[in-house]
Amino acid sequence: MKNHLWENKNIVITGTSSGIGEALMMALSGINCRIFALDRVSKTPPSNTKAEIIPLTVDITDDENMKSVAGEILAKTDSIDYLFNNAGITTHGRMDETHIDVFRKTFNINFFGNIHLTLLLIEAIKKARGAVMVTSTVSGLYGIPGRSAYSSSKAALHAAYESLRIELSEFGVRSIIFCPPYTKTALRTSGLDSKGNQLNEEQAKGNIKTPEEVAQFMISAAEDPNSRLVIIDKSGFFVKWMRLLSPAYLEKTLFKRLFADFH
């Protein structure tokens, strides 16, 4: 980690109660910086950290709650160096069985909640010539079977943050779309099924990443001034390139590999 890039910086992270967001907060907690840790459940911040950790309770789908939390952040600083829009949920189910309310709920968290926070804090990010990172996913690189709501809510973020990157380049603001692969977190427990019930699924099988490993990739990506679309493993590179080179082959592979996920 390039500590000097984080020293004395104001950092906002959403989804710090568990998984990738918590690992990111902990990875940065040894630095002398200020971390606004946003979550639905207020947790006592870890003690003995060099960082000043300020926990703020927010449901990112609640507009009034978001405005008030953004106000609390902006009362402490008018300059934000890093915004990690990380909070999110997954949704599993075939598209032809997925209720429209499940699409709406998924977009409210993964897309609108994320965009709203960016808009509320954008002037402070401009002032700092800061960086906005959004945690997307490999499933945001193509419509994944059994994941239509999740994939589409994340893919929509790609377009929004690409626009933002171009528009705000003259202010020195960077916009990074980060696409981790399967990671060992609570995502599949807390997600939704096609009817809106809690998912409670087991972790993906295989040699999947830990949240701590993913957090280190996020930090490196934020430190690199050229980061745009950040992919960190071969599953992501496969999807990224196959969608251009041979979408038919990509779709056949996804059909076979994920057959059980949509049957």
Ligand X SMILES: NC(=O)c1ccc[n+]([C@@H]2O[C@H](COP(=O)([O-])OP(=O)(O)OC[C@H]3O[C@@H](n4cnc5c(N)ncnc54)[C@H](OP(=O)(O)O)[C@@H]3O)[C@@H](O)[C@H]2O)c1
Two tokens, residue 219? 């930090």
Task: Give the span between the Cα atoms of 82 and 229, in whole angstroms.
Answer: 17
Site for ligand X, residues 88 to 147, rule: CB under 6 A: 88-90, 109, 113, 135, 137
Residue 19 or 145 having the CB closest to ligand X = 19
CB 67, min distance to ligand X, A: 14
Burial of 263 (0-12, 13-18, 19+ CB in 10 A): exposed
Residue 26 or 87 having the CB closest to ligand X = 87
7: Cα within 13 Å, side-chain hemisphere = 3
Query: For the residues of 175-198, what is the DSSP string, one character each?
Result: EEEEE--SBSSSHHHH-B-TTS-B
Please select the residue that binds ligand X; options are 56, 115, 141, 187, rule is CB under 6 A. 187
Two tokens, residue 240? 């990224």
Residue 128 or 136 having the CB closest to ligand X = 136
Q: Which residues contact 159 (CB under 8 A, 6 or more apart)?
A: none
CB 171, min distance to ligand X, A: 26
x/- mask, ligand X, residues 12-41, rule CB under 6 A, reads --xx-xxxxx-----------------xxx
Q: If we measure between CA atoms, which residue out of 55, 52, 5, 10 comes closest to residue 30?
A: 52
Site for ligand X, residues 54 to 83, rule: CB under 6 A: 58-61
Site for ligand X, residues 157 to 186, rule: CB under 6 A: 180, 182-183, 185-186
Interacting residues toward ligand X by CB under 6 A = 14-15, 17-21, 39-41, 58-61, 86-90, 109, 113, 135, 137, 180, 182-183, 185-187, 190, 211
